[in-house]
Chains A and B, each alone.
Chain A
Amino acid sequence: MTTTKKSSVSVGDALPELKLPPIDRATLALFAGASGDHNPIHIDLDFARRAGMNDVFAHGMLGMAWVGRLVTAWQPQSKLRRFDVRFGAITHLGNAPVLNGKVLEVLEQDGETRARVQIEMRNHYGESKIQGEALVALD
């Protein structure tokens, strides 16, 4: 069921864009420690090369955390009901992430008005890295 009232959020609304600085090794090291993901492929160049990669690369969950920032900067986290992403491509060192979101639908679900939001992270070349959706309560 789609509704057009009860909220100032409308289909087609864009979330404020989030632009981030180029990814560096220090950020990956900090995220490894803070997140608990110690997979050396993200922080140890020698390991990454042995695994067939040219270099270390960003944790998928670092990108998802940035997408989370995009959403919670728009609506408080207490309103977040679902958050799903697909990691479409590896995000490399030096990539400067650009994050965007757009309201796809405003719907009634489980007794509240919710927005279904399309979210995407691209790099500074416009290459899509992460695609997904969030479901956010508007009441």
Chain B
Amino acid sequence: MIDRSWIGQELPAVSMTLERGRLRFFAKAIGETDPVYTDVEAAKRAGYADLPAPPTFLFGAELDGGILDRLLADLKVPIAKILHGEQGFTYYRPACAGETITVQSRIADIFDKKNGALEFIVKTSEARNAAGERVAELRSVIVVRN
């Protein structure tokens, strides 16, 4: 069982600078063909400052920063046992190429079902731009198959 005293723990903040090349790579990987996501001029015509990060892209900031790996190590959860249960985003403003986004998370809850056969880690995150403006909130539920 995961130590419940981790509930409320804040995780280290991580910053990610959004790069055009990475955003184009992401667009290719998900089969996105809307030029808004790959062509800077199309993005600007659509009202964005530069290529916008697609709706789910910021989930990767903490993966890039090694935060999830460290969290699993701290909680003594092997990566082979986790599944993604739920994911949510609330959006406040777009995040575009050239911006540096800082993501800060906390462990909102840990609970179990089926007499501990499944444990659930709820993580909530705030993403802010360099001006400190809130870009998005994220909520993740990680399922641990014990």
Contacts and interface: CB of A to CB of B under 8 A. Distances in A.
Interface of A: 20, 27, 30-31, 33-41, 47, 50-51, 59-62, 64-66, 68-69, 71-73, 76-78, 80-87, 90
A65 B90 contact: no
Contacts of B61: 36
Interface SS, B side: mixed
Interface in B36-82: 36, 46-48, 52, 54-57, 59-61, 63-64, 79-82
B94 A78 contact: yes
A77 B54 contact: yes
B89 interface: yes
B86 A77 contact: no
Interface of B: 22, 25-26, 28-32, 34, 36, 46-48, 52, 54-57, 59-61, 63-64, 79-91, 94, 139
Given A41-B79, A82-B89, A85-B86, A35 B63 contact: yes
B26 A34 contact: yes
A37 B63 contact: yes
7 smallest CB-CB distances across A and B, nearest first, come from: A36-B60, A60-B84, A36-B63, A51-B80, A34-B29, A84-B88, A68-B55
A51 B22 contact: no
17 contacts: A27-B31, A35-B26, A35-B29, A35-B63, A36-B64, A59-B84, A61-B59, A62-B29, A62-B30, A64-B87, A65-B54, A69-B31, A69-B54, A76-B36, A84-B139, A86-B85, A87-B84
B34 A83 contact: no
A68 B54 contact: yes
B85 A87 contact: yes
B83 A77 contact: no
Contacts of B64: 36
A120 to B, nearest CB: 15
Contact of B31 (A20, A37, A41, A85): A20
A4 to B, nearest CB: 26
